[in-house]
């Protein structure tokens, strides 16, 4: 295709503002998917995406559109809307010349609207602001148009109004994509350079790599090379999705399509990498490649210890399609054998554990999420800690913790409540700006405070109206301590936590109290203590009982006695021993889930 007849664009929006639904309507209006085959969220292929209504992996699709009697190829790239996947969003943006900035006409601008807009501006994209969901009775197009015009300039009246639900305004929107978004430019004669913006594992075809051709041309059967690693592969199939995969004779400058090389693991075909030809290699890779780094860690343990091999196999499988997932074996006194897993963020953690439950039928316990700490001991040793159990004993010289730049958007009535919450989480106010009826608050905050149920508190204090976005901004030294929870003098590793010194007492008393309620009485008294090193900061006691089940069976009914004994034995199987103390597994789960 002549680059002048190509338009590459993406849709960016806050989550739930209607990207996937608008994409559906575009597929329909352009005849890319016939009406009888249409189903909601056509491009969201993973079950969990469809059910939870979120896009995890981005997808690209080619559509035909006639404008002014000329046929155009429109490549639409659907991007994930969540902060955990912002690296993938930024790669999708780099594959485009323009972006539709979609804003829910009832909700207005939210935190990820801004985050995505800034990313699009950094990538020099032409931005087409669009109001969505104008069919909603609660829509307030005038107010939201003003918000948008205040933000990016222009006239509020000129902002397009659409409904992804009814299809209103969608044809006009496609026309303005052709008119306003620039055609791609590149050097057709240069050695080929294709940017990978997505890499998806498919059980039948192996890894499918989505690329945008920047320069030159790639053909099927050609030997291609990954520029970050130098590894080479054969391009077994090259094609475009429209929306089903359709092989083509190659991809030329400006085109968007896919490549199948037979690799089995997305780590061999990484998002952000540049593909070139082995025979005629480019000298320089395209800019922007970074390895996704896990930010949040949690231990995953099978409820039933015999599921451990299944869990390992399941993680191996997920890793094939998720380059950002990391894991290594770990053991816990309380929970047995499991894996320490690294995630991009909390949603990523949630998605992975849900897929393990659902697709592999695993019952799991997840330990409280933790971040990466850099600990320096008094004798100058540096230790990287992603798990409280790795925290060095003895004297600590300093601890550094990751800090994120946080943006919170909410109606201005909630400013006080939000500030109070952020201050209690050691946030530093960096700036505050009013956008019409809304306010944006910018804080620097320790990531460790955010992974600890911050979002839940933010939502409840703002009646669900606040939205949150964050990005890493380095690390800082902080007065952190490890709090251990001891049962009869034995530390229960799964409950240890690294917290700020000012919160240590609160954490210790909360956990001790929780466990006192959850652990049944034993034959002897069980002290529960919270301690920093050897110093006890909180204490509770579980009083002793004489647990004699047989006492209830007056007389000599032998069969009844036997039944009771067997029942007690069964119960014991689900008990974990901490020293001499029997703890039902449910108690661990309840204490970790913390209600
Ligand atoms: P995404 O997270 O941005 O992909 O948003 P979705 O397309 O999944 O839409 C989120 C919710 O808004 C879904 O329940 C949609 O049915 C609904 N929705 C999307 N577009 C419209 C619209 O134009 N009008 C109305 N009334 N609802 C919409
Ligand atoms: Mg979606």
Q: List residues, by chain if needed, whose CB lies under 5 Å from ion ligand 2.
A: 19-20, 55
In this structure, which residue's CA is closest to atom 18 in ligand 1?
18
Task: Please give the residue that has the higher pLDDT: either 542 or 334.
Answer: 542
Question: For a pLDDT cut of 70, what percent of the chain falls above it?
Answer: 91
Ligand 1: atom nearest CA of 166 is 23
Predicted confidence at residue 104, as pLDDT, reads 97
pLDDT surpasses 80 at 448: yes
- Take residue 569 and report the two structure tokens written for it: 């034995």
From the CB of 130, is ligand 1 less than 6 Å away?
no
Ligand 1 atom closest to the Cα of residue 55 is 4
Q: Is 133 a pocket residue for ligand 1 (Cβ < 6 Å)? A: yes
pLDDT value at residue 465: 81
pTM: 0.75
Query: Is 562 a residue whose pLDDT tops 70?
Result: no
Locus of tokens 């409820």: 303
Q: What is the mean pLDDT of residues 553-573?
A: 58
- pLDDT tens-digit series, residues 309-366: 999 999 998 888 788 889 999 988 778 899 999 998 887 888 898 889 888 999 888 8
| 3-state secondary structure labels for all residues of 458-501 | HHHHCCCCCEEEEEEEEEEECCEEEEEEEECCEECHHHCEEEEH
Q: Does the interface predicted TM-score (ipTM) exceed 0.95?
A: yes
Angle at 532 between CA 526 and CA 533, to 5 degrees: 95
**Ligand nearest to the backbone CA of 43:** 2
Question: pLDDT tens across 66-86, in order?
Answer: 998 999 999 998 776 566 677
Please indicate if the annotation marks 145 as binding a ligand: no
pLDDT over threshold 90, residue 243: no
Closest residue by CA, ligand 1 atom 20:
18
Regarding the beta carbon of 53 and ligand 1, being less than 6 Å apart is answered yes
User: 191 pLDDT exceeds 70?
Assistant: yes
**CA distances for 454 relative to 49, 86, 324, 450, 581, angstroms:** 24, 20, 23, 5, 33
- Closest protein CA for atom 6 of ligand 1: 18
Residue nearest to atom 10 of ligand 1 (CA): 16
Q: Which of 107-116, 142-151, 313-322, 550-559 has the highest mean pLDDT?
A: 142-151
Instruction: Give me the residue label for tokens 């919160």.
Output: 503
16 annotated binding-site participant: yes
For ligand 1, atom 11, the nearest C-alpha belongs to: 16
pLDDT at 506: 93
- C-alpha 21 to ligand 1 mean position (Å): 5
Question: Is the beta carbon of 56 within 6 A of some atom in ligand 1?
Answer: no
Rounded average pLDDT over 369-395 = 91
Is the pLDDT at 382 greater than 80, yes or no?
A: yes
Cβ 464 under 6 angstroms from ligand 1: no
**Is any atom of ligand 1 closer than 6 Å to the C-beta of 165?**
yes
Tell me the pLDDT tens digit for each residue of 17-50. 998 899 999 999 999 988 888 877 776 655 655 5
Lowest mean pLDDT among 44-48, 114-118, 245-249, 433-437: 44-48
Q: Pick the atom of ligand 1 nearest to 14's CA.
A: 3
Mean pLDDT, rounded, of the chain: 87
Ligand minimally distant from the alpha carbon of residue 46: 2
Q: What is the pLDDT of residues 471-530, one digit of tens each?
A: 889 999 999 999 999 999 988 888 899 999 999 999 999 999 999 988 888 888 999 999
Q: Distance (Å, rounded) from C-alpha 183 to C-alpha 392?
A: 57
């Amino acid at each position: 295709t002549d680059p002048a007849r190509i338009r590459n664009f993406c849709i960016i929006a806050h989550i739930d503002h209607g990207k996937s639904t608008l994409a559906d309507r575009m597929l329909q209006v352009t005849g890319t998917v016939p009406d009888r085959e249409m189903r909601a969220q056509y491009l969201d292929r993973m079950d969990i995406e469809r059910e939870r209504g979120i896009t995890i992996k981005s997808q690209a699709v080619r559509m035909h559109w006639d404008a002014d009697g000329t046929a155009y190829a429109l490549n639409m790239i659907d991007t994930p809307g969540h902060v955990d996947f912002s690296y993938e969003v930024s790669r999708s943006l780099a594959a485009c010349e323009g972006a539709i900035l979609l804003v829910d006409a009832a909700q207005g601008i939210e935190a990820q609207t801004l985050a995505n807009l800034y990313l699009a501006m950094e990538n020099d994209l032409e931005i087409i602001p669009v109001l969505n969901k104008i069919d909603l009775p609660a829509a307030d197009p005038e107010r939201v148009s003003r918000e948008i015009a205040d933000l990016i300039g222009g006239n509020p009246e000129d902002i397009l109004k659409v409904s992804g639900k009814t299809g209103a305004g969608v044809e006009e929107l496609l026309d303005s994509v052709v008119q306003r978004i620039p055609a791609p430019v590149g050097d057709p004669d240069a050695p080929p350079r294709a940017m990978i913006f997505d890499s998806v594992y498919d059980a039948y075809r192996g890894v499918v790599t989505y690329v945008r051709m920047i320069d030159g041309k790639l053909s099927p059967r050609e030997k291609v090379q990954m520029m970050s690693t130098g590894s080479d592969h054969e391009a077994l199939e090259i094609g475009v999705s429209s929306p089903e995969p359709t092989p083509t004779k190659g991809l030329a400058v400006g085109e968007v399509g896919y490549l199948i090389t037979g690799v089995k693991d997305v780590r061999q075909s990484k998002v952000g990498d540049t593909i070139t030809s082995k025979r005629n290699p480019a000298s320089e890779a395209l800019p922007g490649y970074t390895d996704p780094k896990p930010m949040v860690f949690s231990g995953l343990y099978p409820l039933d210890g015999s599921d451990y091999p299944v869990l390992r196999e399941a993680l191996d499988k997920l890793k094939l399609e998720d380059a950002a997932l990391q894991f290594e074996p770990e053991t816990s006194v309380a929970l047995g054998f499991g894996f320490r897993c690294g995630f991009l963020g909390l949603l990523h953690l949630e998605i992975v554990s849900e897929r393990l439950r659902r697709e592999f039928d695993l019952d799991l316990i997840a330990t409280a999420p933790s971040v990466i700490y850099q600990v320096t001991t008094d004798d100058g040793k540096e230790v990287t800690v992603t798990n409280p159990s790795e925290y060095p004993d003895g004297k600590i010289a300093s601890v550094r913790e990751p800090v994120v730049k946080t943006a919170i958007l909410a109606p201005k009535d909630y400013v006080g409540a939000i500030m109070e919450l952020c201050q209690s989480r050691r946030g530093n106010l960096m700036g505050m700006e009013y956008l019409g009826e809304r306010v944006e608050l910018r804080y620097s905050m320790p990531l460790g405070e955010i992974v600890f149920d911050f979002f839940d508190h933010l939502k409840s204090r703002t009646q669900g109206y606040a939205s949150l976005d964050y990005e890493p901004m380095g690390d800082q030294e902080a007065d952190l301590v490890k709090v251990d929870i001891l049962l009869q003098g034995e530390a229960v590793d799964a409950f240890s936590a690294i917290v700020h010194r000012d919160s240590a007492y609160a954490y210790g008393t909360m956990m001790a109290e929780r466990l006192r309620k959850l652990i049944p009485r034993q034959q002897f008294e069980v002290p529960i203590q919270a301690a920093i090193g050897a110093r006890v900061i909180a204490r509770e006691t579980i009083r002793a009982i004489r647990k004699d089940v047989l006492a209830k069976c007056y007389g000599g009914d032998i069969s009844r006695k036997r039944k009771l004994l067997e029942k007690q034995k069964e119960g014991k199987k689900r008990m974990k021993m901490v020293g001499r103390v029997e703890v039902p597994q449910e108690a661990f789960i309840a204490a970790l889930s913390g209600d």
